[in-house]
Amino acid sequence: MRDTVLITGCSSGTGRVAARKFLDDGWTVYATARDRDELTALDERGAHTARLDVTSEDDVERVVERVVDEQGQLDCLVNNAGFGQMGPVEDVPLEKVTAQYDVNVFGPHRTIRAALPQMRAQGSGTIINVTSLTDRFPMAGTGSYSGSKSALTSASQALRQEVRGKGIDVVIVEPTVVATEFYDRVREELVDVDHGAAYTDLYEILELLHTVKSGGPGITTPEAVAETIRVAADSDDPRRRYSVGSSAKAGVAIAALLPESMRTPVMRAGVEVAGSCPGKRVLQWWFSRNHDVN
pLDDT (tens digit per residue) in 90-100: 999 999 999 99
Under the banding of pLDDT at 50, 70 and 90, the label for residue 179 is low
pLDDT value of position 142: 84
pLDDT of residue 267 exceeding 80, the answer is no
45-54, 79-88, 109-118: segment of lowest average pLDDT? 79-88
pLDDT value of position 32: 98
Evaluate whether residue 68 is within a structural domain: yes
CATH classification at residue 224: 3.40.50.720
Evaluate whether residue 32 is within a structural domain: yes
Note down the domain range covering 123: 4-289
Evaluate whether residue 294 is within a structural domain: no
pLDDT value of position 284: 54
pLDDT value of position 197: 78
Evaluate whether residue 71 is within a structural domain: yes
pLDDT of residue 215 exceeding 90, the answer is no
How many structural domains comprise the chain? 1
H-run or E-run covering 244: strand 241-244
How long a stretch of residues is the chain? 294
Pairing between strand 28-33 and 125-130? unpaired
SS3 assignment, position 220: strand
Mean pLDDT of the chain: 83
Closest CA to 107 of 124, 131, 125, 87: 131
103 or 198: whose pLDDT is higher? 103
Evaluate whether residue 218 is within a structural domain: yes
Evaluate whether residue 260 is within a structural domain: yes
Over residues 53-70, the mean pLDDT reads 98
Whether the CB-CB separation of 144 and 103 falls below 8 Å is answered with: no
From edge to edge, which strands make up the β-sheet containing 4-7?
48-51, 28-33, 4-7, 76-79, 125-130, 168-175, 241-244
Question: Could you give the CA distance from residue 199 to residue 37 in angstroms, rounded to a whole number?
Answer: 39
Question: Could you give the CA distance from residue 213 to residue 190 in angstroms, rounded to a whole number?
Answer: 18
pLDDT in tens, 118-156: 999 999 999 999 998 877 777 778 899 999 999 999 999
- Residue ranges in the chain assigned as alpha helix (H): 13-24, 40-45, 57-71, 94-101, 107-122, 143-162, 182-190, 200-206, 222-234, 246-257, 260-272, 280-289
pLDDT value of position 194: 76
Query: Is the dihedral angle over the CA atoms 221, 226, 232, 235 positive or is it negative?
Result: negative
* The one catalytic residue among 30, 145, 199, 203: 145
145 carries an active-site annotation: yes
